Amino acid sequence: MPRRSARIQAANTANDSQHMNATQAFLVVKHPRQEVEVEEELSEEERLRKRRKRASASGKTKKGSVPKPFRKVRGRLGLLERMAKDVPVEIILEVFCYLQPRDLLRLARTSLELRNILMSKTSEDIWLAARQNVKDLPPRPRDLSEPQYAYLLYEPCCHVCDRRVVSVLWSFRMRCCKFLLNRFPVFDDEFLAKQPKEIRDSYILPRELIQTTERWGFVSHNGIAARYKAEFETLQTPEERDAWLDRKREEKLQSRKHTSLCGSWFNRREAERTLELNHIRESRKEDILSRLGEIGWREEAEIMMKIEGCSLRRITFSRHKLVKQPRKLTDYGWNAIKDELLKLLSDHKEERTKAESNIGK
């Protein structure tokens, strides 16, 4: 019994000690508002030194919490790669079925593990499900794989030099920049004379209409023509050649139908995207005007917009590079552009005032 009482007494003493320590700690800890008030009493130099010290300590803590394998990884610490290694494949595949082909194409470039999963032929059902998530998307042509079709649909770059382009040569299954468009052979009698007579008379070679400032007319593809010629010349009997020509005629007919569907879908998508970007631009402009109103400059911006057709300045407010961006305005973004916009409005007000005073004279 005495031993037990001693243990209880020791425990109570320890609890009282912990309680006192916790109470003292609570009394010592300052309220955030108190820290702000103390900081306001410090000099500017001391405040800056204190903030740098806090930022440095925060940065060290953040760096120390990052796993060593991911400290040199840009972006969100390589979490996609980590997911591909740690998460069960069944869950990954289930998630992928809710994405679109464009998303799968980008994911395949994030890590080798995800690329191996998505580029495997066993993942064809995933790409099919992803295509079904896109409204009115034409079916995949038989001569393209799922990743190839997604690349053609969504990757806005030249397939030869990687320059950024928008238009697609659907019959050739490629995108091409204006510089390389001039290298395509003209689809004329001179080009057709180089092909076997049977191919020439069957009208099976694909062609594309090019409309640029430097060139206008139908062009063909040397690679496709050479492949057709090689396939045709390997056939020995007239029956084999006739069957091959019939098959190519049917392929061209289906290709033309598919090209029409893809062209319509692509044009609708571009129109919808344009409307979406315009809506973002308008929202950004309204947000900027609202923030300018808070600091007394909205009226000058509205005056500037009213006379944009005959503005005193070449750069108008609505078309200014900081206003017309298709990007939502954040507090950080506003702080970055505020000074330049205020200078623009201040200069405009000064010029407008001078012009009005000259008219009054």
- Would you say residue 235 lies in a domain? no
Q: Which amino acid is at 86?
A: D
Q: In this structure, are 18 and 45 located in the same domain?
A: no
What is the model's pLDDT at position 275?
Answer: 95
Q: From CA 301, how far away is CA 275, in angstroms rounded?
A: 24
Name residues whose C-beta falls within 8 Å of residue 254's C-beta, 6 or more positions apart in sequence: 141
**Residue 249 forms part of a structural domain:** no
* 36 shares its domain with 20: no
| Structural contact between residues 182 and 213, judged by C-beta atoms closer than 8 angstroms | no
Comparing 34-43, 141-150, 341-350, the range with the smallest average pLDDT is 34-43
Q: Are residues 40 and 13 in the same domain?
A: no
Number of domains in the chain: 3
pLDDT score recorded for residue 354: 86
Query: Which of 39, 65, 91 lies at the terminal end of a domain, its last residue?
Result: 65
- Mean confidence (pLDDT) of the chain: 79
The pLDDT tens digits for 257-299 are: 999 999 999 999 999 999 999 999 999 999 999 999 999 999 9
The closest of 352, 353, 292, 348 to 323, measured between CA atoms, is 292
Residue 190 lies in a domain: no
> 177 pLDDT band (50/70/90 cuts)?
confident
Distant-in-sequence, close-in-space partners of 252: CB < 8 Å, separation ≥ 6: 203, 204, 206
Residue 18 maps to a domain: yes
pLDDT at 95: 87
Residue 239 domain-assigned (yes or no): no
Is residue 72 predicted with pLDDT exceeding 60? no
pLDDT tens track for 98-134: 999 999 999 998 888 888 888 988 889 999 999 999 9
Residue 295 sits in the same domain as residue 345 = yes
d(CA 252, CA 44): 76
Same-domain check for residues 292 and 327: yes
pLDDT for the residue numbered 299: 92
Q: How far apart are the first and last CA of the chain?
A: 109
Record the pTM: 0.65
pLDDT of residue 361 exceeding 80, the answer is no
**15/316: higher pLDDT:** 316
Same domain, 41 and 15: no
Looking at residue 2, what is its pLDDT? 44
Decide: helix, strand or coil at residue 121.
Answer: helix
Whose CA is closest to 197, among 239, 172, 249, 232?
232
Higher-scoring residue by pLDDT: 66, 189: 189
Inside any domain, residue 293: yes
In a domain, 344, yes or no: yes
Q: What percent of the chain lies above the pLDDT cut of 90?
A: 42
Q: Which of 14, 40, 65 marks a domain boundary?
A: 65
Band (pLDDT 50/70/90 cuts) for residue 75 is: low
Residue 101, Ramachandran bin (φ over 0: left; ψ between -120 and 50: alpha; else beta): alpha
Same domain, 61 and 2: no
Burial category of 29 from C-beta neighbours within 10 Å (exposed 0-12, middle 13-18, buried 19 and up): exposed
Do residues 304 and 334 both lie within one domain?
yes
Residue 49 lies in a domain: yes
Taking residues 5-31, report their average pLDDT: 41
Which residue bears the tokens 């393209």? 144
Domain identity same for 305 and 342: yes
Bridge partners of residue 217, in order along the sequence = 210
Banded model confidence at residue 237, pLDDT cuts 50, 70, 90: very high
Domain range for residue 49? Answer: 31-65
Question: What are the structure tokens assigned to 175, written together?
Answer: 């995108």
CA-wise closest residue to 149 among 101, 199, 110: 101
Q: pLDDT value at position 60?
A: 46
Rounded Cα distance, 216 and 49, in Å: 66
Looking at per-residue pLDDT, the higher value among 65 and 174 belongs to 174
- pLDDT tens column, 21-60: 433 333 333 333 333 333 444 455 565 565 565 555 444 4
Q: What is the pLDDT of residue 10?
A: 44
